[in-house]
Amino acid sequence: METDLQVENTQLREELQQRDVLIQQLSEELFRLVKGNVAFVPSTTAIAVRDCEQERQRLVEKVAILEAQLLEARSEIAQKEQTIVSLRRQIHELSDRQKALEKTLTEQPQIYRAKFAERMIPVKRKIELLQKENRQLHMELQSLSFCLASRHIGSPYQLPPLSSVSLASRN
């Protein structure tokens, strides 16, 4: 659009220059004629000069309008270039953010596994302690069962006091 306006502007300027040359030639011819014969002023020359002057004025106005349109087009182009720069900056920022989020997403399973393993440590320790206590209690139970089996079948069962053994093993 801007180049079309510039081409038209250039063409109008050339036409204007041609008209100015014609007007100059006509005015010189008129001056020569008037200088030679004061009473003789052809009406066609005056009309032609007036027409040329009107055409020149019309072309000047048209050039002014085209120059205003050109300035407006340049202003629009500048605004659109600013918008493009702003949008490119936003695209860059958003792509950086997207890369950061993708990286976080790929690291997420590893982070989850590490935190889960970290939380499981106290649970595993508690399970180990319970299993150890269970084995110890099982051994005591077997020992007591063996003691009871070795005693007389007819005698009343008398169990040893377990309160001191049980409390010590549970702590």
- Helix, strand or coil, per DSSP, at residue 157: coil
Residue 55: the pLDDT is 85
**Rounded Cα distance, 168 and 171, in Å:** 6
Average of per-residue pLDDT values in the chain = 83
Is the predicted pLDDT of residue 140 greater than 80, yes or no? yes
Overall pTM surpassing 0.85 (yes/no): no
The domain spans of the chain are 118-170
Rounded to whole angstroms, the Cα distance separating 112 from 122 reads 17
Q: What is the pLDDT of residues 64-98, one digit of tens each?
A: 898 888 889 899 999 999 999 999 999 999 999 99
Closest C-alpha to 62, from 21, 20, 18, 5: 5
φ, ψ of residue 126 in degrees (nearest 5): -65, -40
Q: Element (H or E) spanning 148, and its range? A: helix 43-150
Question: Do 77 and 2 form a contact (C-beta atoms < 8 A)?
Answer: yes
Give residue 154's pLDDT. 52
For range 35-62, the mean pLDDT: 73
Q: 10 Å Cβ neighbour count for 23? A: 16
- Alpha-carbon distance 96 to 118, whole Å? 32
CB 5 within 8 A of CB 70: yes
Q: What is the chain's Cα-based Rg?
A: 55
